[in-house]
Structure 1
Amino acid sequence: MNIAKNMEAIFVATVVVIGATSFATAAVPVARTAPVAAIKAEATTMPTVTVTAKRLTAAEKAAL
């Protein structure tokens, strides 16, 4: 019952905390990443995997 009586105070405290964290993180600079063009230039060929194995029969699948 105490939570229901103090819901307004809980809401105001939550808004204050959220507002303070938004102002605190606004001054943090954005991390710089490598340009996208440099990443695309390195990935010109796509690796290919070839699997050579026999398929399981229905009985072998059921045994698993």
Structure 2
Amino acid sequence: MNIAKNMEAIFVAALVVVCATSFATAGAPAARSSAPAAVQAGADANMTVVTVSAKRLSAAEKAQLKG
């Protein structure tokens, strides 16, 4: 069997399978996790939090750093 001759048929068959799969799964409800995202994010009590308290540079200070 020459695959090059049948490449169009193979492509169309693959396209039909992909379209059928997308239509079949379009009506399915989205999966939901058991816990809300906020609870999952706050679950790690050892999470490091970094707070940066610095003033922003003015345009003159930025120019001075560049040159």
Q: Pick the TM interval, shorter chain.
A: 0.5 to 0.7
For residues 1-64 of structure 1, the aligned pairs below 5 Å read 2-33=2-33, 34-45=35-46
Give the paired residue count.
Answer: 46
CA distance in 2, matches of 1:18, 1:38: 36
CA distance in 2, matches of 1:43, 1:26: 35
Comparing both structures, which one devotes a greater share of its residues to helix? Answer: 1
Give a deviation string over 1:2-51, Cα, whole Å, max 9, x none. Answer: 211111111111100000001111111111112121123432236xxxxx
Instruction: Name structure 2 gaps, 5 residues minimum.
Output: 48-67
CA distance in 2, matches of 1:8, 1:40: 49
**How many percent identity over aligned positions?**
63
Cα RMSD, aligned residues only: 1.7
TM-score (norm 2): 0.56
